[in-house]
Amino acid sequence: MDFINQTIQDYCDRNTTAESDALKKINRHTHANILQPRMLSGHFQGRFLSMISQMIKPKYVLEIGTYTGYSAICLAEGLQTGGKLITIDVNAELEVLVNSHISQADMIDKIEHLIGDASEIINTLDFPFDLVFIDADKPNYPKYYDLIINKIPSGSFILIDNVLWSGKVLNQKDLDKDKDTQILHSLNETVQKDERVENILLPIRDGLMLVRKL
């Protein structure tokens, strides 16, 4: 993931609005106590997610992949009054911790945390999602995209994380050998060719694909 010049990244961090106290606590706790803390969106990407949400002012947001709840809280910052964010994760072991983080951020009335198979849960949801964030198991990214693109209304947005995959999508050796790299590269090409959307791939952190349904 560390393929962006660190000096430039540090400069960007210093010139980006700070996290809230609640998010700082989640950030610290995740890095100190939870496996694979690099999965956390973190300060810089979190502020970007919040900014996008603030710009769109969504009524309904769907997040696929909760981890410790950091990104859900960021995305919920832009919700309309009475809006709702649904976040789905398969890891039941983090459920209590995630709900605690949501409560600490005073978002308990805005965020609903669901545990289970996202591909099954998505089919049960009947909300016109304005914004969707995909940041979960990479092998199922194409499935999530296919499920979502047919459910969201025209004008809605999808954000897909990790689409640069530490730069591996540009490395032929990784494309030849690594399944996740192949899947992400293929998804990038699928989105690029999808006439139902317009898109931009942003070199933010590990790569974010921003998609708008036409």
The whole-number pLDDT of residue 1 equals 58
Residue 183 belongs to some domain of the structure: yes
What is the rounded average pLDDT of the residues 136-142?
97
Q: Is residue 30 part of a domain?
A: yes
Give the dihedral sign, CA 166/69/92/114. Answer: negative
Contact 71, 135 (CB under 8 A): yes
Q: Assess if residue 173 is contained within a domain.
A: yes
Please report whether residue 1 resides in a domain.
Answer: no
Give domain status of residue 44, yes or no. Answer: yes
In a domain, 117, yes or no: yes
Report the CATH number at residue 114.
Answer: 3.40.50.150
Residue 126 falls inside a structural domain: yes
Sign, Cα dihedral of 90, 95, 97, 98: positive
Q: How far apart are CA 143 and CA 32, in angstroms?
A: 33
Other C-beta atoms within 10 Å of 139: how many?
11
Q: What are phi and psi of 65, to 5 degrees?
A: 110, 100
Q: pLDDT by residue (tens digit) across 41-100?
A: 999 999 999 999 999 999 999 999 999 999 999 999 999 999 999 999 999 999 999 999
Model confidence pLDDT, tens digit, residues 146-205: 999 999 999 999 999 999 999 999 999 999 999 999 999 999 999 999 999 999 999 999
Between CA 136 and CA 143 the distance in angstroms is: 11
Q: Would you state the structure tokens that stand for residue 110, as one six-digit string?
A: 């805005």
Q: Which domain holds residue 195?
A: 6-213
Q: Is the pLDDT at 2 greater than 70, yes or no?
A: no
- Stretch 128-156: mean pLDDT, rounded? 97
- The string of DSSP codes covering 129-198 is -SEEEE-S-GGGHHHHHHHHHTTSPTT-EEEEE-SSGGGGGG-HHHHHH-HHHHHHHHHHHHHHH-TTEE
Q: Is 133:64 a contact under the CB 8 Å cutoff?
A: yes
Q: Is residue 181 one of the residues assigned to a domain?
A: yes
Radius of gyration in angstroms for the set of CA atoms belonging to the chain, rounded to a whole number: 16
Residue 4 has pLDDT above 90, yes or no: no
* Confidence grade of residue 5 (pLDDT, cut at 50, 70, 90): confident
Give me the number of domains the chain comprises: 1
